[in-house]
Structure 1
């Protein structure tokens, strides 16, 4: 069975192949160029996009139990010692600027997340580019599943249809819901594969970790009232990676 169609591995194992790539992407531990390459692959490889959506659903509950914390200087060596039995690094060695160190720390973070410690254990370097924002959108009883990816570099929000179809006699409209504010329409899904939305700056500013994206079924051309009028067929919470 191809890697993109594999299921989430048991929690006591480390994922491999496409499972590992999808998990690393959702956890936000990939370097910026690899992260953008994975985002492009999601647009064209539906089985892989489905795998990313499953990992997003798998890791989302961890955000509810763990608060952000800065990593102390000795964390990497202690993680290595705990996971691999290696010697702890002497204090004062300048590891924070090492690419090899950060790559190793990313894999250690992934291992901890898989066994239940959560992806928010580590705060990554402030020199990293602005994170991508992603959301896996689904709803009980609905065949529609989508992945949303917002790239701060391109200022585009792309919606990839992972499963289900756009109805012929209705429109699917995308909404942004920030806190208790009224839903804001972002536009209609135009393609059964990928639809790109150019967000005005005031709207883009509201698209952040914790914001809700939802898709409703509307009359052809969109809601006549400026608010959702039909059933919500997919929804999800935006997370930064």
Structure 2
């Protein structure tokens, strides 16, 4: 049994507290919006949110969902208001910001897990880099991992299917520079490709990886011509 002092010592503080309150849905609207944006841009904060989500999810493991009777809601309305009416109450589960934030945290954790599955890290080594690639309105979601020790780039399509009559081409975009092709996604299974040293030296925090749909065999001009199917910023784990 924990003492009051131990409970106080275990209380979350700072960003950890904000993350816990975000998952519980007790933040004020403006604070929740700010937290949602932080999840998409700050890896450490996104991990806090994911950890608290997992923690609170476990509290309901012993309970089975029960479908309430269809007449229950209208009966409560009649008792409270004298007539049946539909009352819409904003909730955490209907919050677009919450689901976008949770998706970002989940993708981030998936990227870390995917990277470590491919690359067990020695204690002293160059840290791998990851990117979560997606695009608004696109069914494609891809995880990318780059290992600076071997200059090897690995990609795995998490959602979406390879188009039957097109190739998916991978591009590196550094700053305002022109996209440079790194190669094509494999048509089945994860993609693994060595990156030339000169190109590997350009893969750093903040550069962008993008995937476009090109004619079979890749862009004939060497420039990105098709629609962007997925895109994401590279971050160091």
Partner of 1:62: 42
Structure 1 pair 178–232 and aligned structure 2 pair: CA distance change class (3 A): same
Select the residue among 1, 6, 19 that pairs with 1:11. 19
Aligned mates of 1:151, 1:192 — CA distance in 2: 22
Is the deviation greater in 229-238 or in 183-192?
183-192
Larger RCO, structures 1/2 (Cα 8 Å, 6+ apart): 1
What are the superposed Cα offsets for residues 90-142 of structure 1, whole Å, 9 maximum, x if unpaired? Answer: xxxxxxxxxxxxxxxxxxxx659978xxxxxxxxxxx7421111000000111
Q: Structure 2-normalised TM-score?
A: 0.51
C-alpha separation in 1, matches of 2:135 and 2:194 = 25
Return closer, same or farther for 1:170/1:141 CA change in 2, 3 Å cut-off. same
Distance 1:206 1:163, change over 3 A: same
Gaps of at least 5 residues in structure 2 are 1-17, 24-36, 53-122
Question: 1:232 offset after TM fit, Å?
Answer: 0.2
Alignment of 1:216 onto 2:212: yes
The answer to whether the Cα contact below 8 Å between 1:214 and 1:236 also exists between their aligned partners in 2 is yes
Distance change (3 Å), C-alpha of 1:148 and 1:114: same
Residue 176 (structure 1) shift: 0.2
Shift of 1:183: 0.6
SS in 2 for 1:203: helix
Question: What are structure 1's unaligned runs of at least 5 residues?
Answer: 1-9, 16-56, 67-109, 116-126
CA RMSD of aligned residues (A): 3.2
Aligned length in residues: 137
Quote the Cα distance in structure 2 between the aligned partners of 1:170 and 1:213. Answer: 19
